[in-house]
Amino acid sequence: MGLFNKMKESLSKTRDSINEKFEAVIRSFRTVDEELFEELEEVLICADLGVNTSLEIIERLRSAADEKHITESSELKAELAAILTEILEKGKSSKLDVHGLPAVIMVIGVNGVGKTTTIGKIAHMYKSQGKEVVIAAADTFRAAAIEQLEVWADRAGVRIIKQQEGSDPAAVVYDAINACKGKYVDVLLCDTAGRLHNKKNLMEELKKIYRILDKELPLSGKEVLLVLDATTGQNAVQQAKEFKEAADITGIVLTKLDGTAKGGIVFAIKNEYDIPVKLVGLGEGAEDLALFDSKEFVDGILDME
């Protein structure tokens, strides 16, 4: 199955929560009036787009209907698709910045969201493209994290740099940088501790890692990817808000998209915090990770042909 079809299939539950309800409202109203917009607003809020983003979308939909003299409710779907796509494409890009040798991808997120699995999938993705990858096991807070990463590194056929549990995470990253120097390494993947309850500690830890990366690899592209579990809905939006306060996040990896109706959070996170989704998890296999495509995503949830 191609990635586009896999993406579309993985969005089936989100599509049911947005498109089917949107279509039901459209069928029941036929003509465009204020009551229709109120019903559509409720559909978007219930589909986890968030109150603020839903209100903004409906306001823009109302303006588009006025400007283009749209009277048939069925014509609103194309306008909604255009608005949703624009939200995802404005501001920061959803493209991964992986220039320089090595490009650095730091992965952050709370425990349980699929952070370790995501690192393994990213390693597999680049390795399957013929790239050399090194993983830095810098989540030294949790012993199981290092062991799980070793399994994924072995599966992907990539090197892993590690120290003992409780070691300084920045020291692990420093060792990994040295392991890359003088060798043709394309991507350095850095795991980090998955704790947020003490934001100050996390912030200091990440700042220390940033300083080392900036000093040792000044010309490398650097991504800081926040892993979020799509099934947690508005809780994932709150995590994005809190991590943004603690780290310079460049993008989101949205996991478990195939098992949830809450894919609408993508719009809330992008619209309210300008953090683009860059990768999406579409299943449990090593290859079930896709680069995010705004148009594909919107077409998938609105069942556009």
pLDDT at 29 over 90: no
Neighbours of 81 (CB within 10 A): 16
Are the C-beta atoms of residues 120 and 286 closer than 8 Å to each other? yes
Percent of the chain with pLDDT over 70: 95
Q: Which two tokens stand for residue 141?
A: 């807070």
Rounded distance, CA 257 to CA 286, Å?
A: 15
Average pLDDT for the chain: 89
* pLDDT at residue 273, rounded to an integer: 93
| Torsion angle of the four alpha carbons 6, 9, 11, 15, in this order, in degrees rounded to the nearest 10 | 150
Taking a C-beta distance cutoff of 8 angstroms, is the pair 267, 292 a contact? no
Q: What is the DSSP letter of 304?
A: -
Residue 88 binned pLDDT confidence (cut-offs 50, 70, 90): very high
Instruction: Considering only residues 303 and 45, tell me which one the structure prediction assigns the higher pLDDT.
Output: 45
Residue with tokens 């990770």: 289
Distance CA 228, CA 279 (A): 11
The Cα–Cα gap between 235 and 195 comes to 15
CB atoms within 10 A of CB 20: 11
Q: What angle do CA 17, 20, 23 make, to 5 degrees?
A: 135
Q: Is 23 exposed, middle or buried (0-12, 13-18, 19+ CB in 10 A)?
A: middle
**Tell me, what's the pLDDT at 113?**
87
SS3 104: strand
Q: pLDDT digits over 12-22, tens only?
A: 778 887 888 88
pLDDT of residue 1: 45
Is residue 305's pLDDT more than 80?
no
